[in-house]
Structure formats: structure tokens, C-alpha cells
Structure 1
Amino acid sequence: MRMNQQQRLNRVLELISERGNVSIADVSETLAVSTATARRDLNTLADQRLVTRTHGGASALGSGYELPLQYKIARQADAKLAIARAVEALIDPGSTVGMNGGTTVTEVARALGRSERMRSIAGEPGVTIVTNALNIAFESSVRENIKIVVTGGVPRRQSYELIGPLVSASLRDFSLDVAVLGVDGLTAEFGATTLHEGEADASRHIAAVARRVVVAADQTKIGRSTFARIGSLETVDVLVTDAPLPARVAAQFDKASVDVVVAPPVR
């Protein structure tokens, strides 16, 4: 099926994220489009300051290149939906839930908003979400069964997450039942990691005021470590993912007392 421009731009960004750079010929061959179309797409992304245009192609903006949130949404979509449903099932009605940003956690917030178990009773919300993610706060604010509390902080354009010292100041007097965290990597050696140090710090503070920490991560994040550490594997209580872990990794997670929940596939 022929891709529209937005789908092509998504795919080009994924290629650059994976490889660091691409040529016009790479884009043309991979997407089965003309070199003129490939050139226009690279120029469009460069105009949006998402890539650096080079002679004959384009490259990532830096070694820690991160896809903007709006371009991540379609990736691993079924896995994210399955994980979100499994996380929702772990949360008791009436709970206070801390959330950082990212597409998987956004799907968890949506699952809570749709949940029949989380209905408002006698005017009380079915669940309270405390988040530093502006997109989650915006979407969830229209749900009658959800009470939204937004931390302070300065927004990051890449992820819509608030970061900085105001995040910890906002959370200082809170006590959360559970923290649901999205990550960019999770390993036994380095624990939960993300690409940006400010987001890692904010996630760490959300986890610190929660009685239970749930990491929601698809299989592409397991066994991968990225730049900024959120916390060791021992700080994680539950991992919800979309596929069984390899035996060696499963043994490491078991040793760290991490309960692993494999989400049933979406049907």
C-alpha cells in the first residue's frame, strides 16, 4: 500500500534514528519512491528542525537523537495497547497514580479513562493521575472519572514532559499508590534508563513518592540501556511487557524481585 507523506516522514525519521544518517538513495530505495520525493521529504524534515540536511542526504541532530513524541505513536502500536490494558488491570479503583510521559504511558492513561472499573462514584473520581506529561493531562482532563494533578516544571518540546526542580517541589508532599513509568531502556546492569537527564530526574522523583513502581515497556526496550538512569532494577516492582523475557534476562529480573507480567495480545 502506498504511503502518504506523513507515513513517509515517520519512516524516514525511524531510519535516521536507527542509522544516524541516510542518503537520498537510501530513502528512495527503502520507501520505493522517486529521488525527487525523497529529497522533498528530507527537506521537509530539515525545515522542521528534526534532522540536519547533508550533501546527498540527512543526519540525526546529535548522538542522543530522540524521535519527537508525535512521530513515535505508530511504533509498536499493538504492543502498547496490550501493555496499557494489562497495566490498567493492576490498578485498583480509587488509586493515586503517578505517570511520566511517552506513548506507552499515554495509552495507560487512555485505558484508565475508558475503564468501567474506574467509574466515578458519588462525585469522587475513579482514579487520580499525577503527571508531568502535558499531553496526558490535556487528554485526561475531559474524563469525568479522572482527577488530574500536574506537576510544575518546564516543558520539553520533544516529549511534552515537564522537567526541572519544580517537578520535585510539586511532588514533595504527595504519597502515590503506584507510579507507572515509560522508559527507553531496561537492563539488569543499569536498571531503567531514558534518553534525557531531565526526564530521568522527573521520573525518579515520581517513583520516589510511590509505594509501587510499574514499568510499562515493550520488548524493544528490554536489554537496552540509554543515556540517563532513572533507577536501578531493584527500584522496579513490576514490569509489564508484550513478550516473554529470554531465560537469562528473566532470571536476572527474578533475582531483583521484579514481577514480570506479559500482556495478552490485542484481538
Structure 2
Amino acid sequence: MQQQQRLNLVLELISERGNVSIADIGEQLGVSTATARRDLNMLAEQRLVTRTHGGASALGSGYELPLQYKIARQADAKLAIARAVEGLIEPGATVGMNGGTTVTEVARALGRSERMSSIAGEPGVTIVTNALNIAFESSVRENIKIVVTGGVPRRQSYELIGPLVAASLRDFSLDIAVLGVDGLTAELGATTLHEGEADASRHIASVARRVVVAADQTKIGRSTFARICPLDDIDVLVTDAPLPARVAAQFEKENVEVVIAPTGRATAAQ
């Protein structure tokens, strides 16, 4: 296993548990005590974890992995969700996007899509985003026109936040908004870990005729710090596994269409 893969997994463990010991890491990853200690020291030097006696802990209760360490998480699910979302977008559409790994995969799927080929020099799709990584990657695609909002970048996620986001979007009208979230419940709707990102995502959704949430099953039934929008503001949820019956009934009551992206795993009929 390469070091970057190990660091990803160690950060996942700390994110999920709040703290881990060197022994935990050795058991989970099958590495030596010396390797586990070196990895924790490296993460502590990068100020991604707090080093403790015999292990490490998360920096706080609202601990958030930097974007570059999230890429490997739920990778198959995110790719499947991205393909399904791409299928919901019509050629020529104007698409709002916030940040995050799942939405980044949606942008990549649009860039690869034969349906979104440029016609007579016109772009196959226009992406309006506050995510600098999406803007950077998509800018080399001839079939995509990129519009970037104003704002101040957050290093954790590469997303632009602040009042300039709303000011940039004020005169826009989007066909569809594709939002990544950290949590989605019937009671609170779509949530994320940072209030600035929630505000930016809310503004993107407010100027779109249709709102699609792209979220793998680990986000469903979980609520996080900052609310993006209530459930009844969401038109479609694209996820990778059928919802529990009670949750599905709540989403149906709020007229949220649920699309299950095929991942190759066996899934029960909804």
C-alpha cells in the first residue's frame, strides 16, 4: 500500500472515530508500529490531526477531511452517482455546482459525455460553480463553458464563499443545480460542515429551476452543522443504494424523486 493511500485511510479512521491509537492503525491497515507512528507524525506536521500519547485525535467535533484526502472514499459509488446525474442533464443546459468529490465526478462525467459535444462552436453545457478545482479541470474541455462565482477560497474544499457568491449569482438563471452535501435528513434537509459553504450552496440552489442532490448512502440519515436547504427544496436525490422504507416514505411525501445509481452491487428493489 502506498503512503498516500495509508494516509487517506488513517484520516478516515480518525474522522469516523474521533481518535485512534497506533495499535488501532496497525491492526486496521496491517502495518508496523513504526510505520503507523511515522504516518501520524506526518499528518500532525501538516496540522491535519492532533498527536496524542500513543495515537492521534481529530482537530475538533466538526472535523472535516481536506478535499484531497476524500477522493478515495466511496469511489465506486461516486462514479456511479456521477453517471446517473449526467443522464439527468440535457445538452445545452446551464448547471450550477458546488464543491466536493461527488460533484467533481459529475463535472468530469459531463466533460467526457458524447451527448454534451460542442455544436457549431457552442458549448455542450455551461457550468456555473464556486469550486475552483471544478473550474480548473473543466476549463480545458472544449464542450464546457465555465463561469466562476466571486468569493474567498476555503483551503479545505477549494470552494469560494462569502457575499460575493450571492452577488455573482444574482442575475443568473440556472436550469439545474447539482449539490454535494455532508448530510441529508427528512427533518433538516441538506446540510454541510461549514456555514460559508452552506450559504454558497443555498444561493446556487435558489437560482436553479431544479435542484439535484448527489449523495452516497453514507450521507443519508446524517445531519451536520450548517443547513443548505429543507427537503422540500430538493427535486431529485441521486444515491447509490435504496433508502430504508421509513426514509423513502418521508422523501416521497416531500415529492423528492429518488434515483438509485447502479454500482454493480446487488441492490434490493425499491
What does residue 132 of structure 2 align with? Answer: 134
Q: Aligned partners of 2:6, 2:14: CA distance in 1, in Å?
A: 12
The equivalent position to 1:20 in structure 2, one of 18, 21, 35, is 18
What does residue 78 of structure 1 align with? Answer: 76
Deviation at 1:266, TM superposition (A): 5.2
Aligned AA (2:263): P
Aligned AA (1:129): I
The one-character-per-residue Cα deviations of 1:184-243 (angstroms, maximum 9, x if unpaired) are 110000100001000000000000000000000011111111110001000000000111
Q: CA RMSD in A?
A: 0.9
Q: Aligned partners of 2:254, 2:242: CA distance in 1, in Å?
A: 17
The one-character-per-residue Cα deviations of 1:166-198 (angstroms, maximum 9, x if unpaired) are 100000000000000000110000100001000
Aligned AA (1:121): I
Would you identify which runs of 4 or more consecutive aligned residues in structure 1 move more than 4 Å?
none
Residues 81, 266 of structure 1: 8 Å contact kept? no
Q: Aligned partners of 1:173, 1:157: CA distance in 2, in Å?
A: 27
Deviation at 1:26, TM superposition (A): 1.4
Residues 200, 228 of structure 1: 8 Å contact kept? yes
Residues 179, 206 of structure 1: 8 Å contact kept? yes
Q: Aligned partners of 1:234, 1:256: CA distance in 2, in Å?
A: 5
What does residue 217 of structure 1 align with? Answer: 215
The equivalent position to 2:62 in structure 1, one of 64, 68, 73, is 64
2:13 corresponds to 1:7: no
Aligned AA (2:57): S
Q: Aligned partners of 1:7, 1:124: CA distance in 2, in Å?
A: 40
The one-character-per-residue Cα deviations of 1:141-170 (angstroms, maximum 9, x if unpaired) are 000000000000111111100000110000
What does residue 87 of structure 1 align with? Answer: 85
Deviation at 1:252, TM superposition (A): 0.2
What does residue 168 of structure 1 align with? Answer: 166
What does residue 262 of structure 1 align with? Answer: 260
What does residue 43 of structure 2 align with? Answer: 45
Q: Aligned partners of 2:13, 2:120: CA distance in 1, in Å?
A: 51
What does residue 121 of structure 1 align with? Answer: 119
Aligned AA (1:249): V
Where 1:117 maps in the other structure, the secondary structure is helix
Q: Aligned partners of 2:148, 2:58: CA distance in 1, in Å?
A: 32
What does residue 233 of structure 1 align with? Answer: 231
Aligned AA (2:218): T
What does residue 199 of structure 2 align with? Answer: 201
Residues 194, 228 of structure 1: 8 Å contact kept? yes
What does residue 110 of structure 1 align with? Answer: 108
Deviation at 1:115, TM superposition (A): 0.6
Fraction of identical pairs, as percent:
89
Where 2:145 maps in the other structure, the secondary structure is strand
Deviation at 1:93, TM superposition (A): 0.4
Where 2:59 maps in the other structure, the secondary structure is coil
Deviation at 1:6, TM superposition (A): 1.0
What does residue 32 of structure 1 align with? Answer: 30
Q: Tell me the matched-pair count.
A: 265
Q: Aligned partners of 1:86, 1:29: CA distance in 2, in Å?
A: 37
